[in-house]
């Protein structure tokens, strides 16, 4: 699995990880979800993204089972909800996530989206404290525009802003306008979410590229979405055939002509 440095950190992270939204919602699916994440880990998708929000902590419990006995392999990310983003609540939320995740640290802790209620300075001060205590390795944000990233970065002081997790798929390339260029200039990783949204690649330039390389259209999409050094992606999959497909998506190199054909059909 292809890895690259994660923003300004020294940590090498796989370009294709695993999302967990909609996991942990029903006990009857939990065993399959645990098996899915473990298969993903076996295939090298060691960045696991979750959040206290997903299934009210249920997704974090599924992740706990999946990573039991193999914590060191995993680059584990979770998120605090904006309504928990006051200083003391952020610390408490992180402790709650750690308990549900069955671990004593997360690799990455994100503010899920901008809080209109709590000043960013308070949340980031809590993040710095969590890093100081060793409960969190790296700090990030999600769904932040450039102004909001600037404010978070300033509030973090010497602690780097490691990433911004943003919506990014072929039919929504909004981040390429200003968020991605700013992140590239400031060595902030961009983790794209919902990379497979709205499909529809079967009869497109993407399908033609897939045919040329003997891969699937979704593999082309994931590969394209990680084509720049700042980019990472976190597809969610529960079905073993989906996991295998996603895990192999970085294993080919599209030509410049391939990229140009995709750009022409799915413009930024």
Interface ranges with ligand NAP (CB under 6 A): 19-21, 49, 142-143, 165, 193-197, 218, 234-239, 242, 245-246
Q: Is 105 an active-site residue?
A: no
- Residue 143 or 186 having the CB closest to ligand NAP: 143
CB of 78 to ligand NAP, least distance (A): 10
Return the residue nearest ligand NAP (CB atom): 19
- Residue 31 or 132 having the CB closest to ligand NAP: 31
- Residue 182 or 232 having the CB closest to ligand NAP: 232
CB of 194 to ligand NAP, least distance (A): 4
Q: Give the per-residue SS3 of the chain.
A: CCEEECCCCCCEEECECECCCCCCCCHHHHHHHHHHHHHHHHCCCCEEECCCCHHHHHHHHHHHHHHCCCHHHCEEEEEECHHHCCHHHHHHHHHHHHHHHCCCCEEEEEECCCCCCCCHHHHHHHHHHHHHHCCEEEEEEECCCHHHHHHHHHHHCCCCEEEEEEECECCECHHHCCHHHHHHHCCCEEEEECCCCCCCCCCCHHHHHHHHHCCCHHHHHHHHCCCCCCEEECCCCCCHHHHHHHHCCCCCCCCHHHHHHHHHHCCC
CB of 108 to ligand NAP, least distance (A): 12
Catalytic residue among 54, 109, 193, 224: 54
CB of 142 to ligand NAP, least distance (A): 4
- Residue 160 or 195 having the CB closest to ligand NAP: 195
Active-site residue set:
54
């Amino acid at each position: 699995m292809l890895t690259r440095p994660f923003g300004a950190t020294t940590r090498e992270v796989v370009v294709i990880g695993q999302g967990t939204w909609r996991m942990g919602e029903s006990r009857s699916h939990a065993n399959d979800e645990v098996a899915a994440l473990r298969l993903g880990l076996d295939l090298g998708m060691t960045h696991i993204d979750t959040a206290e929000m997903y299934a009210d902590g249920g997704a974090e419990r599924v992740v706990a089972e999946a990573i039991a006995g193999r914590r060191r392999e995993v680059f584990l990310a979770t998120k605090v909800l904006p309504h928990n983003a006051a200083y003391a609540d952020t610390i408490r939320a992180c402790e709650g996530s750690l308990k549900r995740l069955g671990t004593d640290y997360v690799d990455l802790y994100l503010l899920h989206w901008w809080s209109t209620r709590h000043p960013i300075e308070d949340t980031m001060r809590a993040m710095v404290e969590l890093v100081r205590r060793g409960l969190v390795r790296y700090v990030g944000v999600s769904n932040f525009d450039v102004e909001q990233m600037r404010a978070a970065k300033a509030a973090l002081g010497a602690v780097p802003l490691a990433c911004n997790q943003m919506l990014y798929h072929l039919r929504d390339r909004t981040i390429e306008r200003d968020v991605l260029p700013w992140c590239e200039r400031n060595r902030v990783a961009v983790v794209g979410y919902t990379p497979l949204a709205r499909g529809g690649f079967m009869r497109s330039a993407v399908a033609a590229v897939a045919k040329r390389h003997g891969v699937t259209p979704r593999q082309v999409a994931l590969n394209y979405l990680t084509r720049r050094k700042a980019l990472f992606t976190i597809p969610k999959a529960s079905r073993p055939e989906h996991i295998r497909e996603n895990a192999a998506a970085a294993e080919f190199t599209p030509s410049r002509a391939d990229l140009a054909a995709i750009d022409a059909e799915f413009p930024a």
